[in-house]
Structure 1
Amino acid sequence: MTPFRPGPDGYEASWEEAERHVLAGVAREVAALLREQAGLPDTDADDPLGALAATMQSTGTPREPDDPAARRLLPDASRDDASVSAEFRHLTQTDLAAAKVRGLELFADLLDGAALDDVDPSPAGLDYGLDDELDDRAVVLVTRQDARDVAAALTDVRLVVAQRLGLETDDDVETLHDEVLADAVDDDAARGLDADVRRYWGGIFVAAGFAQESLVGAMLDDHRASRSGG
């Protein structure tokens, strides 16, 4: 995986097939989690996000997520006032969840549709240990119009994976990052996670972070260039 760089049609990076396949699958899993936890109906042809039916359902008591990962994406508005949190969910949760689902599915579709191209077979990028026999590279193109939604989707993927791995602090994140890049991931006996599980999900966490940070960096480069007239 190489960093995203500004190009004439948007932001481009070179990803291996394994990277595209795995991250697209995880993005869809997170989208499905949000659908279930927020009470969004299943997809149908006339209302792909189930937003109309969910809006009609939201006139009653809003569904409060019981999955800790979903609560990271749909947090309480107030930790101290239950009535404020309930009202906030009633007014905003459906739209927020639907927007996140839209971004996650957009990101997954983008990865699935990435076309194989003539790319450098070994460009400088990130090696984070996702094991897979698929190694065909393709250019992943994120249009400027979709860039914010894709960056948000990558953040949502990271938040869910972080919860599953028990990453609570910056030190936890830094430790896992170093372990993944050094291929020195150990068991987490306290959470019942063996090294293979932590290595796999840790690789996804690090890869999503690398992609998100480089995409945001490319967007900032674009912004600076436009302000300077470059």
Structure 2
Amino acid sequence: MNTLPVTFAGETLHLTGSGALHWPARALLCVSDLHLAKSDRIARREGRMLPPYETRATLTRLADVLEATGATHVVCLGDSFDDLDGQAALDREDAETLAALQAGRDWTWIEGNHDPGPVTLGGTHRAELSLGPLTFRHIAEPGATGEISGHYHPKCRVRGPARPAFLMDRERMILPAFGAYTGGLDCSAKPLQELLTDPAVAILTGPRPVPAPLPRTGRRQHLPPQGRPRRIGA
């Protein structure tokens, strides 16, 4: 499995081409915005029928990255289900697959805006989780440090179609959506630019994670005490 190691908040984190974050020192895997049972939610609320395979595709990808990393703690960073009724909408095979992935692992569901109540399919449910220097939450908070969040489904275009991307500055990291039926927000969009400070970078997902320049459209500049920008990960 191709990964890109980065230094963040003094920790070595591995960014995978699938959009998952691996923290080897903690045997932890973090994924964001699975949006399981999205096709069911759209059918229930909008009456539109989509092929109901996104949950299986997402769980298969999750199983692959868990096998590759050997992670024993999984943090799902919010919006794991497209709504709270999606838990009951899982068919038996998908529910059994999820239970098998949870078996023998610590599993933490972080509260999202799509799934704000308790998740009842095993594991623990938290508003946020702090481990060492890192804090895991669904939506980034201004002024936070050592923060890992999701919610925005960032995408970035270099050549060809836009690709899901990690966004990272000295204080925060925003994960791409891991789910199969998820759109995205361009990394130049105002909500993302207002959260990030210079220097910042995008890491594009795909067969091999690739760092890419992050368009600057209103970001603040982070100046260390010496008055000079520092390299990310320094």
Normalised to the residue count of structure 1, the TM-score between the two structures is: 0.28
**Structure having the larger proportion of residues in strand:** 2
Greater relative contact order (Cα 8 A, min sep 6): structure 1 or 2?
1
Normalised to the residue count of structure 2, the TM-score between the two structures is: 0.27
